[in-house]
């Protein structure tokens, strides 16, 4: 068979057209490569070597381009799926947040309703009964003084019972200092952990009731400042631990991380403020930069322990 006389430039572009056409027909990769090489037998002798090189280069370039394009499309599909999943999760978080707020609001309403009903049933009835007794005593004051005194005494007794009922109701409503103090500390540490993406854990031991209101205030402020300083000095740390321990004669609060620490710690306004606050209750602050950064607050157990 004689040679086909066509433009050499056209022949050199032929492998790309063959590979692209066969790819659209979903032809297997090896077969596509063979078919792209076949026209070499129909081209001029002097350009056959160039044709083979261009065919091989075109085939591998096209195949690799297609491979990376498919990977890119797949990654984009995965990113789209992740975006959709993230949107769903954010929606769930917002819905859960709204549900929690609504639940908290409903709890407050129910608690207010319970208190209102309790005051109405116990205290309201007591005051109404005492008022009736006093009105009756007023009418009998001149005619039957003995009966009037008896009614007044009954009114006094009813009023005293009402006052006691009010006292008990308020006592039951008011949380203990320990509950307020430790839960406020837990809440702050949870917020700190979420805000800074740093694992932070709280442990506490001993009788928390022995910590007074003023001591809890200083503990809260010192822990807040110590966590801030820990971020400053806690290079490469993965954990910050807060420990509250009530001993026989003192309260020890330690904030410590597992980072590199610092050989020299400069006392800024924050640390000086901790020392001054702690000194108002005859306490002491210990700062240590060895084996991680740590701040220890020592507070003596007060004589009027547990009272604000």
pLDDT of residue 307: 45
Report the relative pairing of strands 239-246 and 199-205 from DSSP bridges.
Answer: parallel
Residue-wise pLDDT for 89-144, tens only, equals: 888 887 777 777 777 777 777 777 777 777 777 777 777 777 787 787 777 777 77
Question: Please, what sign has the CA dihedral across residues 44, 48, 54, 59?
Answer: positive
At 288 the three-state DSSP class reads strand
Mean pLDDT for the chain overall:
79
pLDDT score of 308 more than 60: no
Percentage above 90 pLDDT, the chain: 17
pLDDT score of 181 more than 80: yes
Q: How many CA atoms lie within 13 A of 35 on its CB side?
A: 15
Highest mean pLDDT among 48-52, 57-61, 136-140, 181-185 belongs to 181-185
Domain extents in the chain: 116-173, 177-300
Highest mean pLDDT among 38-42, 85-89, 102-106 belongs to 85-89
pLDDT of residue 17: 67
Q: Which residues contact 222 (CB under 8 A, 6 or more apart)?
A: 253, 255, 274, 277, 278, 285, 295, 297
Tokens of 169: 């109701």
At 200 the three-state DSSP class reads strand
Backbone angles phi, psi at 44, to 5 degrees: -65, 150
pLDDT band for position 305 (cuts 50, 70, 90) = very low
At 96 the three-state DSSP class reads helix
**Among 87-91, 100-104, 183-187, 242-246, whose mean pLDDT is lowest?**
100-104
Topology of the domain comprising 177-300: Heat Shock Protein 90 (3.30.565)
Residue 291 near residue 261, CB atoms below 8 Å: yes
The full DSSP string for 220-277 is: HHHHHHHHHHHHHH-TT--EEEEEEEE-SSEEEEEEEESS---SS----HHHHHHHHH
pLDDT of residue 9: 60
Residue-wise pLDDT for 193-227, tens only, equals: 888 878 899 999 999 888 988 999 999 999 999 99
């Amino acid at each position: 068979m004689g040679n086909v006389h066509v433009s050499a430039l056209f022949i050199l572009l032929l492998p790309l057209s063959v590979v692209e056409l066969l790819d659209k027909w979903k032809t297997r990769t090896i077969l596509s490569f063979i078919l792209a090489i076949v026209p070499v037998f129909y081209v001029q002798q002097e350009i056959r070597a160039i044709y083979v090189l261009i065919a091989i280069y075109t085939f591998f370039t096209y195949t690799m381009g297609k491979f990376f394009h498919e990977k890119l499309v797949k990654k984009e599909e995965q990113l789209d799926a992740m975006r959709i999943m993230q949107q769903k999760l954010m929606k769930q978080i917002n819905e859960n947040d709204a549900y929690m707020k609504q639940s908290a609001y409903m709890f407050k309403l129910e608690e207010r309703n319970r208190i209102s009903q309790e005051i109405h049933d116990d205290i309201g009835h007591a005051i109404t009964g005492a008022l009736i007794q006093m009105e009756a005593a007023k009418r009998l004051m001149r005619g039957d003084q003995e009966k009037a005194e008896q009614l007044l005494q009954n009114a006094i007794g009813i009023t005293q019972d009402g006052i006691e009922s009010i006292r008990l109701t308020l006592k039951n409503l008011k949380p203990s200092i320990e509950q307020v103090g430790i839960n406020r500390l837990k809440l702050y540490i949870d917020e700190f952990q979420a805000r800074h993406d740093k694992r932070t854990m709280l442990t506490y031991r001993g009788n928390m009731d022995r910590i007074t209101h003023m001591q809890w205030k200083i503990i809260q402020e010192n822990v807040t400042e110590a966590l801030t300083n820990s971020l400053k000095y806690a290079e490469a740390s993965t954990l910050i631990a807060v420990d509250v321990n009530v001993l026989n004669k003192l309260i020890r609060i330690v904030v410590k991380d597992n980072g590199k620490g610092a050989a020299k710690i400069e006392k800024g306004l924050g640390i000086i403020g901790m020392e001054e606050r702690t000194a108002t209750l005859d306490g002491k602050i210990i700062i240590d930069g060895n084996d991680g950064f740590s701040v220890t607050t020592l507070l003596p157990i007060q004589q009027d322990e547990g009272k604000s």
